[in-house]
Amino acid sequence: IKTIGVLTSGGDAPGMNAAVRAVVRTAIAYGCSVKGIQKGFSGLLDDEIIDLNAGSVADILSRGGTFLYTARCPEFKTLEGQKKGAEICRKHGIDSVVVIGGDGSFQGAQKLAALGINTIGIPGTIDLDIACTEYTIGFDTAVNTAMEAIDKVRDTSTSHERCSIIEVMGRNAGYIALWCGIANGAEDILLPELYNFDEAAIIDNIIKNRKRGKKHHIIINAEGVGHSTSMAKRIEAATGIETRATILGHLQRGGSPTAKDRVYASIMGAYAVDALMAGKSNRVVAYKHGEYVDYDIDEALAMQKDIDPFQYSVAKILSI
Ligand code: F6P
């Protein structure tokens, strides 16, 4: 391995910079050159490639976002795009690429590997929706950001004795919603994985809680369920209790990464380079049962995971 390329792809996530820094500095420790591929696979196809040295990644550890920029790239789904990407890597002498992103980004890494470029993926997404790993870069920061925002909504909701529906990100997964549900002590949590929720039962619950003297009713709604504004209108009409919807949106993706995101991302970055140096390719780094491990990308993409029913039942019991 002589030259390692590194890119971030898909939605940005706090901690991606820590991972890039670790890739760059570990590669340098091995005596390799490092190139930054800007704007993900899209930047690769546009030849947006820069030299990176130890100083290029100074002062980024504590910064949110990704200093390499990121993008989603439909063109890289085509064989023509993939071949062009591999050619551009070769032109720059890049023999190996570290891809930081989600499942879609790992598919890109898989295709590059098939075309003779060594690749390794690092899970980076606030959604935690990568089946092979219990940790993804950015989830911890995003949950903490959402939790703090929800605490604030709760203050005003209580003052006005309102019901509040707060919509959190997660695409088709409910991990952010479930964690906030537990961390914020929400009365109800709506998850896409359990989309059979009964709105009439929620309305009954709100009325019952109000009779018991509860001053607010917090509903955490995952974006995969959606429709928070229309739901708020229906709940207000049915209960007579003022109801507001708050969609937290992209604020959940920004901000300085937590210690956990900085540390795990740094270790995964170093692990990825170690794995490449050990001759591995078409792999993805994961955190499983308390250990950093790696899986074949094909195997990782075939895995499935779901919301833990025990965690959901705990949230329900504690929300009384
Ligand atoms: O995957 C991260 C994520 O923030 C999802 O939670 C959300 O559905 C999506 O990206 C939003 O994408 P965009 O930033 O392109 O609107």
Q: How far apart are CA 146 and CA 150, in angstroms?
A: 6
Residue 230 carries which side chain, given as an amino acid letter? S
Q: Which of 12, 42, 128, 169 to mutate to test the pocket of ligand 1 (most atoms within 8 A of CB)?
A: 169
Report the separation in Å between the CA atom of 125 and the middle of ligand 1, taken as the mean of its atom positions.
Answer: 9
pLDDT digits (tens, 9 = 90+) for 273-282: 999 999 999 9
Q: How far apart are CA 1 and CA 226, in angstroms?
A: 46
Q: How far apart are CA 174 and CA 165, in angstroms?
A: 15
Confidence of residue 196 (pLDDT cuts 50, 70, 90): confident
- Asked if residue 258 has pLDDT above 90, the reply is yes
pLDDT value for 85: 98
pLDDT value for 13: 98
Instruction: Give residue for tokens 């003022």.
Output: 242
Q: Provide the angle, in degrees to the nearest 10, between the axes of the packed helices 139-159 and 175-183.
A: 50
Confidence of residue 198 (pLDDT cuts 50, 70, 90): confident
Ligand 1 contacts CB of residue 126 (under 6 A)? yes
Confidence of residue 195 (pLDDT cuts 50, 70, 90): low
Helix (H) or strand (E) holding 165: strand 163-168
Report the separation in Å between the CA atom of 72 and the middle of ligand 1, taken as the mean of its atom positions.
Answer: 11
Ligand 1 contacts CB of residue 138 (under 6 A)? no
Q: How far apart are CA 300 and CA 298, in angstroms?
A: 5
Check if 151 is active-site.
no
pLDDT digits (tens, 9 = 90+) for 6-29: 999 999 999 999 999 999 999 999
Q: How far apart are CA 283 and CA 23, in angstroms?
A: 15
Q: What is the ipTM of this complex?
A: 0.98
Per annotation, catalytic residue among 12, 95, 127, 261? 127
Report the separation in Å between the CA atom of 277 and the middle of ligand 1, taken as the mean of its atom positions.
Answer: 33
Which residue owns the Cα nearest ligand 1 atom 8? 171
pLDDT digits (tens, 9 = 90+) for 160-192: 999 999 999 999 999 999 999 999 999 999 999
> 251 a known binding residue?
yes
For residues 94 and 7, the answer to whether their CB atoms sit within 8 Å is no
CA dihedral 139, 145, 151, 154 (to 10 degrees): -90
Helix (H) or strand (E) holding 217: strand 217-222
